[in-house]
Structure formats: C-alpha cells, structure tokens
Structure 1
Amino acid sequence: MLQKLREKTTGWLAVVIVAILVVPFAFFGVNNYFSTAVSNYVAKVGEVEISADDFRVRFDQYREQQRRQLGERFDPQAVDNPIARRELLERMIDEELLAQTSERLGLTVTPAQLRDAIAEVPAFQVEGRFDPTQYQLLLTAQAMTPRQYESQIRRDLDVRTLPIQLIDSAFLTDAELDDFVRLADQTRDIEYLAIMPPTEPEAALEEDAALAWYDENRERYRSEETVAIEYVELSSADIEVASNVDEQTLRERYDEQRDRFVEPEQRLISHILIKLAADADAVVVAEAETRARGLIERISAGEDFATVAGEASDDLGSRASGGELGWLEAGLLDAAVDAAVFAAEPGLLPEPVRSAEGWHVLKVAEIRPGNQVPFEDVRAELERAYLDGERERAFSETSGRLIDATYRDPTALATVAESMGLRVQTSAHFSRQGGEGITGNPEVIAAAFSRQVIEEGLSSDSIELGPNHIVILRVVEHVPPEIQAFEAVRERVEAEALADRRAKAARARADALFERLKAGATLSELAAEAGTQPEQVLALRRFAGSPDRAIVDTAFSLPVPSEGGLSHGLAESSPERFTLITLATVTDGDPSKLDSANREAIRRQLSEIQADLELRAFVRALRDQIPVVVVEDAL
C-alpha cells in the first residue's frame, strides 16, 4: 500500500488527497453547521473535537511553511486572514471525516507500513539508509518524541488510505473516452470580423455630464476608513535575563531530567517476511508458517541470511538489502515482532513470529546498549533551556501585569505602559487593507477597526502575534469613510465617465452589426463599417492560442450549424473590443487515430479527474452523514 501512496500522492492529484479540499463543502446544505457557543474547540466532527490549540498549532505550521516556500514574496495578509483560516479548518474537518470513516471500515495502517514510511523520509537517512541516531536528533531538535512523531505520521497515513482506495476504484469506459476525444479534438471552421473602436476625436465631457456621472456613482468615490494607533508590543525575545547561569543549577536540572538524556538501546535487525492476506484461512496460515520454519532450518544449516532473504522475502522494501531493517529502537515494529527481537540475544531467532502482515524470520545482528549522555555533552542545551525558561517566566509575569493593568484602566494604555517601563509606539494611518509592519497583521487590523476600540476608545484585548509575543493597541485617531468632493476626484470622474460612454457606444455599434449579421448580411458586407477585413480560420482547435481567447471560446460555444447554414456569435474581448463570428463547419475528433500509448495516457488523466470528482462527492456525503459544527467565534 505504501507504494500506492507514493504513486498516487505525487503531482497535481496530491493536492486533492492531502489537502482534500480547499473548497469548503460545508458552507452549503449542512444543518447546524455554524455555532457561536462558547467552547474550547473550533469545530466538532461527530463526537471528536478539533481543539483551538490543535488549530492554532496547525495554522502556525501552515504559516511557517508558506514563509519558507515564498521567502521574500511572503505576504502575511495573504496567508493570515479569515478565508485562509477557514480553508485550513475545512481541510482539518475533511481529514477527521476521512480518519473516522477509515477507522470504521477497518482501513488501519500496520506497524510495518508505519516503519517503512518513516524509514523512507530522506531527512532521517544517512548515505541513503534510515539512521536511528539521525532520527532521534532531528526529533529532539523539534522538541518531539518518536512516539509523538509516529502518531502524527500514522494519522497522516490513515487520512490518505481511504482516498487511495477510492482513486484505485475509479474507471473510465471506452465509450466515455471516445466521447472525450471527439470533443477535445474537435475542430471548427470560422470566419470573424473585428469591430474597430471609433477613430474620430472624442468630444470633451461636459461639466453637467461629469456631475451627473459623479451623482450616479457616488459610492465609487468613497474614501477609505483609516486609523492611527498607539501600541505596546511585548516579546520574550526582547526580555533581558541574567546570562550567567550557576553551574550547580544546571547540574541539578540535569539530575532531575536524566531520563531525557538517554540514548535508547538499538538493535540491528533483519527479517524475511512470508506475507499473508488479512483474510487468510487456517490452512494458508499453517503453510506459511511451515515455509518460514523451513527458511530458519536453511539458515541454521549454514546458508547466508541475506541470500535467503533476497530469494524468499515478500518485503520488497528490505529484500534488496538482504532483509536488513537497520538500527531500530523499541516501539517501531509490530508489537509481537518488537517484543521478540528486543528479548532475544544476537543471532537468528529460532522460531518465526506472526504479525498482522504475516510470518517473520528474524535475526538480531548486533546490539547497541542504551547510554546516559554525559552532562558536558548537554550543558549548552540545558543552559539554553534555562535561559529560555527565564525569559518565558519574565514574559508571563510582565504580560500578566500589563493585561491586568489595561483591563483596570482600558482608556490609558500609554499611562499603564509608562508605569511599567514599557515603550509605547505609534503607527501611521492605515486602512482595513493594512499597512506596514505590525499594522499588516490581520488580527491587529481586526482589533484596530473593532467597535469597542474605535467607538468606545478602549484598549484592545491582548493580541497574540506568535509564541510569547503579544501586542495591545489603542486607536488615537479615526478617519471614517466619506464620499470625496467632486473637485477632489474630478480627473477620475471624467476618465471613468468617458470610458463608460465609449463602452456603451462600442456595445451599441456591435449589437447593431450583429443583428444585421443574423438577418443575412455577410461579414464582407459589414467590413467597411467595422473598419477591418474578415479573417478565416480553418480547423480551429479548442485550446488554440490564437486568435483572441474570447473569439475561440465564443466559437466553441456556438451550436452546430444546420447543413449548408451558419451559426453566428459576438465575442467581447474588452468593454470596447467586439468581434463578429460565423461558424460554418464542425468536425469531431477521431478516436481511432489515437495510438494505444496516448489512449492509455488520456484514460489515466480522465480517471484521475473522475476520481477527484468522486472523492469530492464522497466527502460531501460524509458531511451529510456525520454532524459537523464550526464555532465561528473561536476562529
């Protein structure tokens, strides 16, 4: 199954499987979907809650991923906004729906599949092979235990399993493929006549006409609402703490946390798998066990384990390396296999072991005992953790005092900050689209334009900008939106009024010529008035790059003409550019001209598209079956 996961989650279809669907299905037709009740979760899927903490962690991961991918092009407003938050939540809901359904159907990931998935992560490999030490180091650097990481990967695989099964079941009939080819390769013979915009000098816009346009479109000329704020920003990174840490303190912490600084025992393990189907009967199971015992006898008699594994193992992932699984620590294998190999002495295990995948012939080649990491090796880490803890403690104390003080006196942010020795900063005016620096943060923008901050003049609640990083703000000046005076926008009014006049004139002229075309006039007869000559395109293809896209789209939207007749169309490329079209002939594509390779390539592509549609429909159906509640206020 892992091979299928790899094959099916590469390329464009991976987006469909992993991010199941940015399109938020639940916006439509789901009873009791929205909720504003006070709760500790952002959504509830069936009986499972998606907590606010889980959502925040996932969103932080998403934001950091976007920051790394986009680099200098990263735009916080494009990433951190209500739409992006909702899309991510919808994705998490879909994942939970699929996970629950997979569990109900018994589509669970085996320990061996989990092990293989982890072993194939390039970051955990040294010289192309899984390295337990590298694995442990990287997880430690991320403040994550192997158990936490394995749980995360298992969850990811559980979510993907069901979509893979659905995708594998999608198929396309020959008749459907032939119909697609007839349409996709269809060609059309057309003639078209571009209608040139008027060339005569444009009359100046009269004052009355400009004023009339301004009065009819006053809302176009409303200024943006803006605010200027004062704010206090507090971050643990900016808090100074004593840099000299007492040696005794660090040694005491080391003694308290000795269990953290242990390199676990590792064993170099090889296996030969005799694979069994999940529904194998007793006879098949017994035959596989007999086969496994026969392999143990061959190896015990002197045959090389690696050679026998290369011939007999059903584990494609390890067979090429003589069955070697690498250095592993306890907990990575199937429970029965794990218990057997970590209780054994080095050498070939005398009995085969049964797992969910089948029978295993096992060998422990070597054992690395667990070791206590000496204090000197982790001193820098302990010191860094101690200083970080001191900063967090100081941040927690200072932020708590600041929040309490602004709560007691919500109209005097500057006075509160001054009494605590904190710096008050001010911003330039910015609109609801945001400004520079901190005023580009969506949560800061939302707070600055909230009713209590603008109308009541109160300080905002504490806004979390990141871990141990907050800001509290207060609006010092508010400029409400207002319709700008005519003189202030005169140039814009005149330009837009003239553009509207030109567009209406062009449309009226095009409509009149189109009516004459439908009444029987030819394009050649209309050429003089259009200001151009007709052009003919034979065998125009649906995805042609020229002529203009609007012409191609209009040509392929026209009905097939009757024998000897024409179909007529009017394409609009812009408000002032129109084209008359006549369609003479439609020729369907010929499926018989496709060779087998191209035919199968098209079949695969269409099957993927069909699988995508079926997967979307499946998730929609799950939303109808399993109650979903979203707590709007928690977002």
Structure 2
Amino acid sequence: MLEKIRENSQGLAAKIILGLVILTFALAGIGSYTNSVDTSVAEVNGEKISQADFEKAYQNQRNRMAQQYGDMFETLSSDANYMANFRKSVVESLINQALVDQASADMSIRVSDDRIKKTILEMPEFQVEGVFDNNRYLALINQAGFYQSSDFRDYLRVEMTRRQLTQGLVASEFSLPYQETQLTALQNQKRDIRFASISAKQFEQGVEVSDDEINDYYLANQSRFENQEKVKVDYIAIDVNDIAKTINVTDEDISTYYQENMANYRKEVQRRISHILIEISDDESAAQTQIQSIQDKIAKGEDFAQLAQELSADTFSGENGGDLDWFEAGIFGDEFDAAVLAMNEVGVVSDVVKSDAGLHLIKLTDYQAEEVQALADVKDELTEAVSKQKAQDKFFELQQTAAQLSFEIPDSLDDAANATGVEVATSVWLSRFGNPAPFDNAKLIDAAFSDMIIEEQLNSDIIEVTDSLAVVLRLNEYQPAQVKPLETVSEEIRTLLIAQKASDKAQAIADQLLTAFKAGEDISAQLTENGTSFTVKADVARYGSDVDASITREAFKLPHPIEGAISATSVNLSNGDLAIVEVQAVKAGESTSQANFAEQYSQQLAQFAYQNYVESLREEAKITQRSVVDTASQY
C-alpha cells in the first residue's frame, strides 16, 4: 500500500495539484490560512473563553453525568432542549470561573511555588506506601492529559487560588443561636391540610387526536424519536498484564537487575543535626566574637541545646534545641553541607561554618550507617520487578508491530493479531457514553466513532489506553442515529397527546374549582362529579409525611390562614393529575438541638454568600456571550 502511495504521488495530476497549492500559498500568504475566525463562546471583561475551553468543560461534564446517571442521561441527551440548557450551564460555569480568577488577580491572591510543591508531595494519589513516588506522579498526570509537569502545576495553582478566595468567603460565614432556633422551629412546624386529587385519566375517554396533530408533534419533537448512534468494533488488545504471565525470569536476570538498581536497595547514610546560628549584620567581627564565645562555652561543657534555645538566631529550630531533623543537602549551601558530611561521630560539634544565612555551629545528634538489603532478602520483589520490566519491553515491541501491520494491512486485524499473539475480539454495541471497560475510555470511543472507522472502514491507529494497554479497532457493524418512522411511533404520540389533553382538561376544572373555593363556595358536589373529595390530614410534617411530596411542598408555601380568607392553591402532581390543596391550621414547631446543625447551617449560608458574591461580580462585569457550537454530535 505504501509503495502504491509513493507511485501515485509521482504522477502528473499529483504534481499539478501540488503546484496549485504552492502557488496559492505564494499569492495569498500563509497568514491567510492561520488567521482564524474568533470562535470564542464568551468574553468576560475582555478575556475570551475559547471554543476549545468550552468543549473540554462540556466533555468533562458529560462524562460526569454519564457516570452518575448512566442510561438515564443517555435518554436525557436525546432531548434537544435539555442539551441546549446543558450547554448553556457549562458556559455559565466557565464565565463564573473567569470572574473568580479575575477577582483573585485583582486582590493579589497568590499561591507560592513552595506551597504547590508541598501540596503535590502530600497528595496521596502520588504516593506509594506513604511516600511520594515521582514515576507514579508522572504516569498519573500524563493519563489525566498533563504531558508536562509545568502544565499540572499551572492547573493546580489556578485551582488552589480559586479555593483561597472561596475559603475566605466561606470561613467568614457563621450562624447565630437565634437563627438556629428559628430555623429548627420552622423545620418542625406542622400543618393541618385538606386536599382533593382530580384524576386526569378520567377525561381521556372521548378525547380525539387527529392525524395532523400527530404529524405536527412528530415534526416538532424529532429528537424524542431518534435511535441513538451505536457501533460494534473488532479489536486487538495488547496488555502488559497478559504478557507478564508468559515471561520467564532467570537468576541471572535477577542478579543483573539487582546490580543495576542497587540504589533502590541501599539505605544511604543518614545524619541528624542541630545548629546554632548567629546572623551577620554590618559588623561581621561582632558576629565572629559571639559565635566564638558560644563555641568556648560548649567546649567547657555547657549544653548545646540550651545555648541554641537562648542564643540562636534561628528561633524556629532554637525552640527545639537547634534540631534540624535528618540532614538534607542544599539548604544552607556547600560549606554547610561539607561540614555535615565530614561528621561521623554522634555528639561532635563542628568548627564555625559560614553560609549566606550567617555563622553556624553544627552538632551531630544521630547517625545511621549505610544499609544494603541482601539479594536473597528481596528476591521476590526483584522477580516481580524484572517480570514487569521484561513485559513492558515486550509490550512496546508488540505495540510497534501491531501499529505497523494494522497500518500496512488496513482492511483486516488478522495479520496484526497473528504477529502479536493475541486474538481478535468483538465488542458489545457501544454508544457515546456508559460503556464497559475498556470502552469507557474517551480515546477509544472517539476512535470508534471516527470517520476512519465508520466511513473509510480502515483499522484505527494504535491507541494507548493506559501505560499498560494498547488497542487497535476496526468496524464490525454500525447503527446510525436516525429518526424512527412516523408509523412506528404514531400510537405512542396519540397516547401522549390524549394524556396531555386530559391533563389540560383536569387543569381547567381545577382552576375553576379553586376560584369558586377561594370565593367561599362549597365545591363538594363538583368534586364528587369529578370523582374525588377532600381528604383531611392533621399534623402534616414538612418532611417525611405520607402525603404526596408535591402536595406537601405547596402546602408549606401557602400563607397562614386568616379569618375571611382561604389559603389554597392547585398543584400539578407527577402522574399528571391535579390537586386542590388548602391549609386549615399552622402549628408552631419546637426548637430542638440537632447534632452538627450549626455547622450544616453555616455551610448553607456560606454557599449562599458565594453565590451572591459571584452574582455581584456578574453585575459589575462586561460579559458577551456568543452562540455555542452544538458539540453533542461530536461525542
């Protein structure tokens, strides 16, 4: 195939096309191709939010929703109105983030490099057996899409800066005892109510729906009747874990690995030190005199720790007798490090050492000699390490083989499978979201729904799912997204429209009855005519009652009943029925003490404060929103 491409590229037609492309660049200039149109989705105080930023946030939010709600979200995503609101919420969130970032910058809120480093070192995700592991750190951030450490540090800096601002707002909120008393009393309030539910289903009899109405609804709600796009793929998977099971490890392999990685099995010499620091001001001779005086006192037997506590300029370590814990090179400079490394006897005190910080006297307080783990003691660990290393090397070799053969023979996976010793497998039907592993990986799904797979029906490129798994895909079967024919959904639409008309009829009757009821009329007869009557419920609680939640919610929104006025309303129930609700009496609730209530209430207040703060930023900001490209079809 490659040879055929090379031959065709030498033809006259290819040369003419290439010449025209070169001529176009020469006349128009490369700049005309690189000057892109402004595709930003919003602009906040002159700062643009790009389409790329939106798509990244949109995809992340879709993934979170898909993981949380599964098939339910797939159903929701077929609703064009829902997805329009979904995209709008993503843009609003990005605007709020931009406003918070700008406010942080205006207030000079910063996060130091040292704090970033400390945070990374302490993150449990990057630790192995409680100790930071740089290889794990790099692997995880690469897997998350941060291909340089600086990218992840920049991301972390932004997140920590935002957190500083929000924590400053949150920490300032508190609740007062009287507020807690009022709130618990409201929560414990009870109401006597009565309600009458009007069934919508009783009005379905005799409701007529024309073919035109069905057709109009069908045309206006195409997305509701659309089959989701799906694909089934054949694939080969090269897995380090499978390769490791076939690896043979010899004693020679173990010995060689042990020698090459001796540093991993050697515990270096460790020195614990204390120091006394005298700072050098304008008069260095005075500092020299002072440090010499301290040195004389030590020579005469005075306690080093006591002198450090009384005289050291390093007050932080001085409080602990000058203790600097186990020695780490590079803090006080080369001369200081050299002095420490020359000390091998516990209790010895150095001569005066000069550094940029001042003059030091250093005492060795503990010493641990070098320890080397014997090969026999770590043989099992070495065997596993060698097996993994060999498997990883074989993995890269097979990965290259699969990549080459699947490209050179793009209409079959058999050759690549035979060369790598794996079998061609077939996936289940895959959709854009909610797939089983390994197809819950975005890179695999992007490839499965790509033009290369579906339109051109070629093998995919080799896809590195993780550091230990690589996959090549090709199309097995494809089901495009398409609207179901009207004839297959007409009865569904008819049933839906009948229910809707019946509900509208129930709503009209409920409105009429409510108007009469609030005017003081007795509507018992009309309720009976509509197959219902009032149900009386006493001491209904705000939460946890046996009354329909919609009725309870509206009952607690209604005003207290007063003489000469009826406190009532109508309610749409979740099943399509209607209800008339009246509050007859309100009973004050008792103020009770609840565990952690003050903390929970303060958190609610803090959340409201943050929302109000962001709203105030929005009111003062200059915000321009543009139409958002519909990315739903891309994912």
Bucket of the pairwise TM-score, normalised by the shorter protein: 0.5 to 0.7
Q: CA 1:537–1:342 in structure 2 vs 1: closer, same or farther (change >3 Å)?
A: farther
Distance 1:619 1:377 in 2: 63
- After TM superposition, list the pairs within 5 Å mapping 1:231-630 onto structure 2: 231-239=235-243, 242-245=247-250, 247=252, 250-268=254-272, 342=340, 346-347=346-347, 364-378=364-378, 380-418=380-418, 422-433=422-433, 438-439=438-439, 441-484=441-484, 496=496, 499-500=499-500, 502-521=502-521, 527-529=527-529, 531-533=532-534, 535=536, 545=545, 547-557=547-557, 564-582=564-582, 604-605=602-603, 608-609=606-607, 612-613=610-611
Distance (Å, rounded) in 1 between the aligned partners of 2:180 and 2:335: 51
The whole-number CA distance in structure 1 between the counterparts of 2:608 and 2:381 is 53
State the match for 2:4 in structure 1: none
Per-residue CA deviation, residues 462-483 of structure 1 (Å, 9 max, x unaligned), is 2222213111111132233445
Structure 1 contact 110–334 (Cα < 8 Å) conserved: no
Q: Report the alpha carbon displacement of residue 368 of structure 1 after superposing the two structures with TM.
A: 0.8
**Compared with structure 1, are the counterparts of its residues 161 and 551 closer, same or farther at alpha carbon in structure 2 (3 Å cutoff)?**
same
Shift of 1:574: 1.2
Give how far 1:221 is off.
4.2
The 3-state SS of whatever aligns with 1:461 is: coil
Deviation at 1:243, TM superposition (A): 0.9
Distance 1:353 1:555, change over 3 A: farther
Note if contact 1:190-1:555 (Cα within 8 Å) is conserved in structure 2: no
Q: Which amino acid aligns with 1:239?
A: I
Q: 2:457 is paired with a residue of what secondary structure?
A: coil
Residue number among 50, 59, 83 corresponding to 1:34 in the alignment: 50
Matched position secondary structure for 1:460: coil
How far apart are the structure 2 equivalents of 1:272 and 1:524? 94
The question of whether the paired residues in 1 share the 8 Å contact of 2:207 and 2:501 is answered with: no
Q: For residues 532 and 571 of structure 1, what CA distance do their matches in structure 2 show?
A: 15
**Match for 2:236: what amino acid?**
V
Q: Deviations over 1:321-366 (max 9, x none)?
A: 99988666557x888999599468534889999999xx99986531
The DSSP-based 3-state class of the residue aligned with 2:573 is strand
Deviation at 1:267, TM superposition (A): 3.5
| Mapped contact 1:77–1:440 kept (Cα < 8 A) | no
Q: Report if the CA contact (8 A) 1:235-1:468 is conserved.
A: yes
1:230 aligned onto 2:210? no
Q: How far is the alpha carbon of 1:167 from its aligned partner?
A: 3.0
Contact 1:177 1:603 in 2 (8 A): no
Describe the superposition over 1:156-204 as per-residue Cα deviations: whole angstroms up to 9, x where unpaired: 7996587457635667699999789767755686744232426869749
Give the SS at the match of 1:574.
Answer: coil
Q: Find the counterpart in structure 2 of residue 197 from structure 1.
A: 199
Look up the equivalent residue of 2:240 and give its one-letter code. Answer: S
> 1:337 & 1:537 partners in 2: Cα distance?
85
CA 1:304–1:525: 2 relative to 1, 3 Å: farther
1:405-444 CA-to-partner distances (Å, cap 9, x unmatched) read 3333433333554466542222344444565554555443
Q: In 1, are the aligned partners of 2:193 and 2:582 still within 8 Å (CA)? A: yes
Secondary structure class of the residue paired with 1:532: coil
Note if contact 1:172-1:606 (Cα within 8 Å) is conserved in structure 2: no
2:272–2:325 contact (8 Å) kept in structure 1: yes
Please tell me whether the aligned partners of residues 70 and 434 of structure 2 are also in contact (alpha carbons under 8 angstroms).
Answer: no
Q: What TM-score do you get using the length of structure 2 for normalisation?
A: 0.57
Q: Return the alpha-carbon distance in structure 1 between the equivalents of residues 299 and 544 of structure 2.
A: 66
Per the alignment, in what secondary structure is the counterpart of residue 411 of structure 2?
coil
Q: Structure 2: how far apart are the matches of 1:205 and 1:619?
A: 52
Quick one: structure 1 residues 560 and 402, their matched pair in 2 at CA, closer, same or farther if it must change by over 3 Å?
Answer: same
Larger radius of gyration: 2
**Are the aligned partners of 1:107 and 1:162 in contact in 2 as well (CA < 8 Å)?**
no
Cα distance in 1 between the residues matched to 2:441 and 2:69:
13
Residue 525 (structure 1) shift: 7.0
Tell me the percent identity: 21
Task: Describe the superposition over 1:219-242 as per-residue Cα deviations: whole angstroms up to 9, x where unpaired.
Answer: 444444433322222223333665
Cα displacement (A) at 1:396:
1.9
Query: CA 1:418–1:511 in 2, change beyond 3 Å: closer, same or farther?
Result: farther
Matches within 5 A, 1:144-155: none
Q: Rate the CA distance shift 1:245–1:168 in 2: closer, same or farther, 3 A.
A: same
Rounded to whole Å, the distance in 1 between the matches of 2:522 and 2:332 is 79
Using the TM superposition, give the Cα deviation of residue 513 of structure 1 relative to its aligned residue in structure 2, in angstroms: 2.4
Contact 1:507 1:576 (8 Å CA) reproduced: no
Contact 1:560 1:586 in 2 (8 A): yes
Query: Do the aligned partners of residues 416 and 110 (structure 1) sit closer, same or farther apart at CA in structure 2, a change above 3 Å counting?
Result: closer
Secondary structure of the 2:387 match is helix
Q: Let me know the Cα RMSD of the aligned residues.
A: 6.8
Offset at residue 399 of structure 1 (A): 1.8
Q: Which moved more, 1:434-443 or 1:169-178?
A: 169-178
SS, match of residue 239 in structure 1: helix
Contact 1:195 1:510 survives alignment (8 Å): no
The residue aligned with 1:21 is: none
Question: 2 CA distance for matches of 1:76 and 1:466?
Answer: 26
Judge conservation of contact 2:200–2:503 (CA < 8 Å) in 1: no
C-alpha deviations, 1:513-537, integer Å up to 9, x for none?
Answer: 2343455546667654561225366
Letter in 1 for 2:49: Y
Q: 1:369 to 1:437 in 2, by over 3 A?
A: closer
CA distance in structure 1 between the aligned counterparts of 2:412 and 2:429, rounded to whole angstroms: 20
- Structure 1, 365-374 or 576-585: larger mean CA deviation: 576-585
Asked if 2 retains the 8 angstrom alpha-carbon contact of 1:462 and 1:471, the reply is yes
SS at match of 1:243: coil
Q: Which amino acid aligns with 2:235?
A: Y
Letter in 1 for 2:455: E
Bigger mean CA offset, 157-166 vs 425-434: 157-166
| Partners of 1:299 and 1:305 within 8 A in 2 | no
Q: More deviation in 426-435 or 472-481?
A: 426-435
Which one-letter code corresponds to 2:533 in the other structure? Answer: T
Question: Given the superposition, is the C-alpha separation of residues 611 and 268 from structure 1 closer, same or farther in structure 2, using an over 3 Å criterion?
Answer: farther
Question: Residue 582 and residue 526 in structure 1: after superposition, are their counterparts in 2 closer, same or farther (change >3 A)?
Answer: farther
- 8 Å Cα contact 2:193/2:555 also seen in 1: no
C-alpha separation between the residues in 2 aligned to 1:227 and 1:204?
Answer: 44
**Corresponding residue pairs, total:** 528
Residue in structure 1 matched with residue 37 of structure 2 by the alignment: none
Deviations 1:578-628 (A, max 9, x none): 2223467889999xx899x9997577445643565488689999x999xxx
Q: Residues of 2 paired with 1:302 and 1:170: CA distance?
A: 52
Gaps of 5+ in 2: 1-39, 78-85, 140-147, 624-630
1:232-272 CA distances to partner (integer Å, 9 max, x unpaired)? 2222333366514362x554554444444431332446799
Judging changes above 3 Å, is the alpha-carbon distance between structure 1 residues 615 and 350 closer, same or farther for their aligned structure 2 residues? Answer: farther
CA gap of 1:445–1:175, structure 2 versus 1, over 3 A, is closer
Alpha-carbon spacing, 1:512–1:624, altered in 2? closer, same or farther (3 Å): closer
Q: Which amino acid is the alignment partner of residue 232 of structure 1? A: I
* Contact map agreement 1:503 1:575 (CA 8 A) in 2: no
